[in-house]
Amino acid sequence: MKNYSFFFLLLIFSFIAKSSYSQDFWEQIEGPEDQSIYSINANSSEQIFVGTNNGIFKTDNYGLNWEQTTLNEYRFNVIHISPLDEIFAVGPGVFYSNDNGETWDTINYMDVGGFAIYVYNENTIFVGNWGGYINFIKKIMNGELRKS
């Protein structure tokens, strides 16, 4: 019985210590004003990108200031950033940027309306959409994107 009591106290202490320790690392930041955030991701330069009900916003100072990118319409449910800092945004279609969201290429076929994206490798991207379908996108080496 003594061993069970010791184990129980040790277990309780570990939960208390872990919960108080982990809270020290969280800090709430403000998102873009009057926007609902549906997706979030960051690139290797620590710029944070959020998909909102009104386009894509980015910050390079941890939310002190937000800038709306040129992709400033529609709701975006998914933002994926590749190891090469290529940004893929999924909303009413698939959008691609290789310059930190300054410009976007549109790949809008069959109104994708996606909610999931998986970049399989540098040549193949899968997008899951609302209709239960998976669409395939091939990336061509010269920077163009197209449906395969």
C-alpha to C-alpha distance for 101 and 56, rounded to whole angstroms: 8
Per the prediction, the chain carries an average pLDDT of 77
Opening angle at CA 102, ends 96 and 104, nearest 5: 25
Give CA separation, 12 vs 7, 9, 15, 17, 50, in Å: 9, 5, 5, 9, 38
Greatest pairwise CA separation for the chain in angstroms:
70
With 50 as the cut, is the pLDDT of residue 140 above it? Answer: no
Domains in the chain: ranges and CATH: 29-147 (2.130.10.10)
Rounded to whole angstroms, the Cα distance separating 49 from 108 reads 21
Flag whether pLDDT at 118 surpasses 50: yes
pLDDT tens by residue, 39-95: 999 999 999 999 999 999 999 998 999 999 999 888 898 899 988 898 989 888 788
Per-residue pLDDT at 141 exceeds 50 = no
pLDDT for position 111: 56
Whether residue 107 has pLDDT greater than 80: no
The model's pTM? 0.72
